Amino acid sequence: MKNFILAVFGTLTLASCQQEGSREVTSEISPAGHPFTFMPIYEDGVTDITIEIAWPTTWAYEADKNPAVPLVASRAILSGGTSELSPQDVLILFEDKNAYGDMLAQPQHIIGSISFPKEHIDEILDVVQEMLARPQFNDRWLEREKSEFASRIATNNSTTNFRIWTAARFAIFGDQPANQSLSLTDPEIIAAVDQSDVRRWHRDVIGKTGVTVVVTGAISADDAGNAVDRLLADLPEGHPVELQSAQGNYAPVEIYLHDPEAPQTMIGFVGKLPIDEEGIHYEDHLAMGFFSRAGQSPLFDALRTELRASYQMFGGNSAYDRNNPFLFIGGGVEANKLVEARDVIKQTYDSYRVNPNMEGFSQFRAGLADQVAENVSYVDMAARGILDARLNLIDPSYVPNAGDKVTNTRAMDVSDRMAKSYPRGDQLIVLAVGPNPSDLPGACVITQPEQAVDCR
Amino acid sequence: MKFAYWLFTAFVGAATVGLTIFYFKGAPITQSPPPAVSKGIETIESDVFGQVYFIHDSDTGVVKTTLSFPSGEARNPYSEGMAHYVEHLAWASAFTEASGAKNHARHSNASTTEFSTNYWMKSSSRNLRSTVETLISVADPLTVSPQFAAEERDIILREYEFRQAEKPLLPIVFGMNSDLYSNGPLSRSVLGTPDKISKYWFANAKKLHQASHNLSEATLVIYGDVPKQRVKSLLASLDVPRISRTSVKRPDLIATDFKPFRNSVQMKRPGIVEDTYLYKSLAPLPDCGSVARCDLIIWLSYWILDSPMQGGVAGPLRFDDFITRSFWMDFNMVGTSHALLEFDAVPDRDANLNDIDRVFEKALRVAFEGGIPQQSFDRAKQQLTEYLGSFEYLEDYNAEQTALLLSRGAEVYSYDEEIQALKGIQLSDIQGFLAHFSNTSRTAVRKVYSE
């Protein structure tokens, strides 16, 4: 495609054109009795609607289930067409109508999403309703999806960047079933997925009970309720699901993944972040973002400017599931400076954790706030933000103003949280990958990421 | 959105649970409003720079200033990748000089392409003078120490490891480029290779810097919340030597005696995880008008070829039969004289690379020989019109586009010119372009088998 810019899509909020009730988050009940969260956007130029549905699942946490099934089946629902429309026809229809669909398998939820212009609501809902209720699961399309995942795994397994974080997960979760889902490293597991597996998964997971639904965009509450009912109408009732979570062991350990063929040496750190009722902590994102921002940050200064050991280091926060939030730091380093890099990163992190220099923080925060505010101005992004809040059991009413929430997070809030709740440098899990284990004396040496469980 | 998600999950292998709005950018979600009219890209006379573009945007609150030199790796006569090394050293020198200390200016960055070397900074309008002065100082003689320069080679080696070391298909792609460009300047690697990077000579870097970082050839782009008059005053009062403008004729980057060929090679390489089909086809552009019009003709061609519509390759390859499990296509101008069609694919379970070769070539032949129906063209043009019409931040778009066109070695054009160009394109333009492309192209195919 033209190698130009792709961004700058917009549903810019024009306050003067905004009608009453626009971007207010409310809880609604559809005519058929399905609760959903609703945020209308009545603004000039905004014509799209997004519907998000999250199906709760414990599949990834059950030892007798093949963890690849949700990944393959959720993709196959989208790609397989319907009884009346071929996969090609569905794709052309969506492209013609400027519609977009996705289905994402996470450990605790399957998240389906569709976005489309309001005038195409009937055509799109007809097709999606059919896909959800009666997926084709054609054998050849299933094989295609399986091959795609197997290929992705093989590609990932061949990269240092992927293997280091896989080793981290095996160090933290060991052989728990959830980790089989998070860390699919064995193509045979995917090869074993068959027609009966995906149909069983579909029957078990894609039902009406326990779903979390969000509707945003150019639609009224009544029409949104009707749309929700249409999508769920033909699904089985399903059954209540009690969400499960993996038990992580974040005790410090030092591991060297020895790969004689590794073309680079990489170091990574993982530490547990605290969980509390608020679910998402903007302080965490600000803390780790400020620590590791490119070009001028404690991490960049220490590793590139001072030690001259690295081109670029990364840091951030994420979550394996909702009970396992974590911080991470990582990047490629010069092999013969690996020990120094480890020590410098720990020292830099510790110093930042207890006594951060927050000069430039307000500028960084303003940039992040702008980015978040822009993100939630989009119909689909607002829907996902609200869904995330719902799944975290927190009030989603802040989402339209999430940028303000970032702006209102003070440097003191960030430093207080780090000082009180963050693991010390010597409490972090340390991992390295490279061709020479003597670069990190004393580490538990393994040759495959899965062996990290043996370092415990 | 899916792509962004996968990138993140691949990195740390975790779900971005509850953090979505920090990471995702929105997808196209509006239906097109009537195309807006941008304020456009203005030029400002300068006796310091080769040219100056100004894009006013009072909504951004910041000013982004870009300085682009029309010399990238393709104009580098020294070791491969040295233009990029010079960019690192020039940037470090500029900041050492500007601040006298370690000021790495986090709102700044630099890039090197085959065609240009580019530096940019974000600042407030209040700091615009110091920003422009800092950018200008990248043209001053390099002041970093020899030790720093030696260490920077190691940093670039880490960058190579980060960007390229684990991409086993890349050396094959470079080999295809060597064939297509007859081992000419455009077949050079911008990042270089470890054996060459580790032997860069600081003395040669200084020579290349002096030859390539000439303000009289450079383009300055100022975008943001600053009045034009203030920019003009600032430029007039800069304390740098004024230029006497001379026109420099540079040799063509692609030899003019361009002879078509097609080569196809089968190979096995270590580290390749699955059989992969690689295709590149390069041809001189026909007379398609302005850069904007040529770009849009190529973009529309791509939009059809890449699609499941009749005339596209997705139908024959993915839907009529199970030939490719996945494929990727791209179609772009190279500089201002040529166009490059690229295609990669992996076979479906019961197909092989010869099947892909056969079906893909046949599908292309159909498209090249007038097989794109009017309906597909109309549909593609409508989709592309809606896509371009969905942009609202047009000043930002113009600024990004200007920087990208400079990095491509192309003439600058605006969003409005792009919209106008698209309106005028007919199916016959696409057919004429594709016919010319297929008749004059060099094609390199690699069937790469995993071990």
Task: Spell out a b/e string for B391-404, using b for 16 or more CB atoms within 10 Å of the CB, else e.
Answer: bbbbbbbbbbbbbb
In the three-class reduction of DSSP (H, G, I as helix; E, B as strand; rest coil), residue B297 is classed as helix
User: pLDDT per residue over B96-109, tens digit each?
Assistant: 655 444 454 445 68
Q: Is the pLDDT of residue A197 over 90?
A: yes
- What is the model's pLDDT at position B33? 38
* Residues 156-175 in A contacting B (C-alpha not used; CB under 8 Å): 156, 158-162, 165-166, 168-169
Whether the CB-CB separation of B61 and B122 falls below 8 Å is answered with no
DSSP H or E stretch at residue B233: helix B228-236
Query: What distance in Å separates the CA atoms of residue A180 and residue A60, rounded to the nearest whole number?
Result: 8
Task: Look at residue A279 in the predicted model and tell me its pLDDT.
Answer: 57
Res A321: pLDDT: 85
Q: Per mean pLDDT, which range of A67-76, A294-303, A422-431, B363-372 is the poorest?
A: A294-303
Q: Do A162 and B155 lie within an 8 Å CB cutoff?
A: no
Is B322 in CB contact (< 8 Å) with chain A? Answer: yes
Rounded mean pLDDT, A418-437: 97
Q: Is the pLDDT of residue A7 over 70?
A: no
Judge: B18–A280 Cβ closer than 8 Å, yes or no: yes
Q: What is the pLDDT of residues A331-343, one digit of tens each?
A: 999 999 999 999 9
Count CB neighbours of A27 within 10 A.
11
The residues near A304 (Cβ < 8 Å, ≥ 6 apart) are A310, A311, A312, A313, B155
Contact list, B223 vs chain A (CB under 8 Å): none
- Rounded to the nearest integer, the mean pLDDT of chain A is 91
> What would the two tokens of residue A317 be?
């926060």
pLDDT higher than threshold 60 for residue A14:
no
- Chain A residues closer than 8 Å to B302 by CB: 1-2
Asked whether B217 and B50 are in contact (CB, 8 A), the reply is yes
Mean of pLDDT values over B235-244: 83
Question: Which range, of A216-220, A317-321, A344-348, B231-235, averages the lowest pLDDT?
Answer: A317-321
In CATH, A254-455 is 3.30.830.10: yes
Instruction: Report strand pairing: A429-434 vs A254-258.
Output: parallel
pLDDT at residue B107, as a whole number: 52
The answer to whether the beta carbons of residues B207 and B78 sit under 8 Å apart is yes
Q: pLDDT grade, residue B250 (50/70/90)? A: confident
Decide which of B375 and B26 is more confident: B375
User: Residue A271 pLDDT > 50, yes or no?
Assistant: yes
Q: CA end-to-end span of chain A, whole Å?
A: 49
Average pLDDT taken over every residue of chain B:
88
Region A188-203: mean pLDDT is 95
For chain B, report the end-to-end CA distance as a whole number of angstroms: 34
Per-residue pLDDT tens over the stretch B106-128:
456 899 999 999 999 988 899 99
Cα-only R_g, chain B? 23
Residue range A359-399, pLDDT digits in tens: 999 989 998 998 999 899 999 999 999 999 999 888 999 99
| DSSP class of A301 | I
Average pLDDT of the segment spanning A171-193: 90
Whole-number pLDDT of residue B17:
47
pLDDT digit string (tens) for A99-130?
A: 999 999 999 999 999 999 999 999 999 999 99
- Beta carbons of B230 and B125 less than 8 angstroms apart: yes
**Maximal C-alpha separation, chain B:** 69
Look up tokens 């690295």; give the residue. A310
User: Is-contact A137 A272, C-beta < 8 A?
Assistant: no
Q: pLDDT of B259-269, one tens digit each?
A: 999 999 999 98
Report how far residue A8's alpha carbon sits from residue B415's, in angstroms, rounded to the nearest whole number.
13
ipTM (interface pTM):
0.89
For tokens 């822009």, name the residue.
A374
CA atoms within 13 A on the CB side of B151: 16
Residue A58 pairs with which residues in a beta bridge?
Answer: none
Residue A381 to residue B24, Cβ atoms within 8 A? yes
CA closest to B305 among chain A residues = A1
Cα A211 to Cα A101, A198, A429: the distances in Å are 18, 19, 36
Under the banding of pLDDT at 50, 70 and 90, the label for residue A278 is: low
A421-455 residues labelled b (16+ CB within 10 A) or e (exposed)? bbbebeebbbbbbbeebebbeebbebeebbbbbeb
Structural domains for chain B: 1-30 (no CATH), 39-236 (3.30.830.10), 261-449 (3.30.830.10)
Place of tokens 């030892």: A63
Assess B171–A contact: CB distance below 8 Å, yes or no. no
What pLDDT does B43 receive? Answer: 94
CB B123 within 8 A of CB B107: yes
Q: Which amino acid is at A97?
A: K
Nearest CB neighbour to B325, from listed A148, A183, A360: A148
Per-residue pLDDT tens digits for A144-166: 999 998 998 888 888 999 999 99
pLDDT tens string A63-75: 999 999 999 999 9
Which of A453 and B16 is assigned the larger pLDDT?
A: A453
Grade residue B5 by pLDDT with cuts at 50, 70 and 90. very low
Residue A18 has pLDDT above 80, yes or no: no
pLDDT of residue A6: 33
Residue of A nearest to B29 (CA): A48
Rounded-to-integer distance, Cα B125 and Cα B130, Å: 10
Q: What is the pLDDT of residues B388-430, one digit of tens each?
A: 988 878 999 999 999 999 999 999 999 999 999 999 999 999 9
Report the candidate in B108, B143, B129, B137 with the shortest Cα–Cα distance to residue B218.
B137
Supply the pLDDT for residue A187.
87
Could you identify the residue written with the tokens 């586009």? Answer: B401
Residue-range domain boundaries for chain A: 15-232, 254-455
Residues of B in contact with A392 (CB under 8 A): 17-18
Q: Which of A205-209, A265-269, A274-278, B46-50 has the lowest mean pLDDT?
A: A274-278
State residue B431's pLDDT score. 96
pLDDT at B244 exceeding the cut of 80: no
So what's the pLDDT on residue B100?
A: 44
pLDDT (tens digit, 9 = 90+) per residue, B7-58? Answer: 233 334 444 445 555 554 444 333 333 344 456 899 999 989 999 999 999 8
Where does the pLDDT of residue A13 fall: very low under 50, low under 70, confident under 90, or very high at 90 and above?
very low
Instruction: Tell me how long chain A is.
Output: 456
H or E segment and range at residue B379: helix B374-389
Asked if A297 is an interface residue toward chain B (Cβ–Cβ < 8 A), one would say: yes
Instruction: With cut-offs at 50, 70 and 90, classify the pLDDT of residue B239.
Output: confident
Total residue count of chain B as it appears in this document: 451
B143 has pLDDT over 50: yes
Helix, strand, coil shares, percent, chain A, to 5: 45, 15, 35
Q: What is the CATH number of domain A15-232?
A: 3.30.830.10
> Which residues of chain A are within 8 Å of residue B111 when distances are taken between CB atoms?
none
Strands A35-40 and A26-29: antiparallel
Between A and B, how many residue pairs show a Cβ–Cβ distance under 8 A?
Answer: 262
Nearest CB to B21; choose among A182, A333, A372: A372
Topology match between the domains A15-232 and A254-455: yes
B421 within 8 A of B290, measured Cβ to Cβ = yes
